[in-house]
Amino acid sequence: MENTSLFVIIILFLCISFIIIISLYIKYSKLKLTINNKVKENFDKWVDSELDQIRKNIETISQREKNIEIQEWKSKYTNKIRVEAIEQSKSVTFGKISEQLAPFFPNFTYNPNDAKFIGNPIDLIIFDGLKNGFIKNIIFLEIKTGIKKSLNKHELLVKDAVFNKRVEWEILKI
């Protein structure tokens, strides 16, 4: 009987030990799962943080490269643009001066005293013969000095009105 009792105690001890081991294993598994989830969560946060930092670094580097390219472009083309602007300004100024001095050039075929400068939309109106006391013709004269020799929109409108004889005389009494 004693053996039986000892056997029951051993079996009981083994059963209790087995239950404790199973319980501990379950707790271990749950704890391991919780730890794995926390590690994964922290790792994901770390990865996201690192990716954000890398993106910010890439954006910063990209912005610096853009700024460098802009500065290089500016340094390369600023002088060229300035020179072109000065040349354009010289050309325009030369054209405006030439328009006003044209009556005094040797190839001007009318009496300079008969020419009246208007400037816009046409350069000169010539009252041919006015200085001599009679008017043979009235000439609308556009002067071109630059590369662009074609008439602009307003000049074309004046030309069209003259050629189609849409010219009138009026008096305004004030």
Does residue 13 belong to any structural domain of this protein? no
The contacts of residue 123 (CB under 8 Å, 6+ apart) are: 99, 102, 117, 141, 142, 143
In our burial notation (b when 16+ CB lie closer than 10 A, e otherwise), range 42-59 reads eeeeeeeeeeeeeeeeee
**Number of domain units in the chain:** 1
Upper half-sphere CA count for residue 37 (Cβ side, 13 Å): 6
Does residue 48 belong to any structural domain of this protein? no
Does residue 18 belong to any structural domain of this protein? no
Q: In what order do the strands lie in the sheet with 137-141?
A: 115-117, 124-128, 137-141
Does residue 148 belong to any structural domain of this protein? yes
The model's pTM is 0.52
Domain that holds residue 149: 57-167
Concatenate the DSSP letters of all residues of 156-167 into one string: HHHHHHHHTT--
Does residue 174 belong to any structural domain of this protein? no
Does residue 31 belong to any structural domain of this protein? no
Does residue 46 belong to any structural domain of this protein? no
Upper half-sphere CA count for residue 54 (Cβ side, 13 Å): 6
> Tens of pLDDT along the chain (174 residues)?
677 888 888 888 889 999 999 999 999 999 999 999 999 999 999 999 999 999 999 999 999 999 999 988 888 888 888 888 888 888 888 888 888 888 888 889 999 999 999 988 999 999 999 999 999 999 999 988 777 778 889 999 999 999 999 998 899 899
Does residue 28 belong to any structural domain of this protein? no
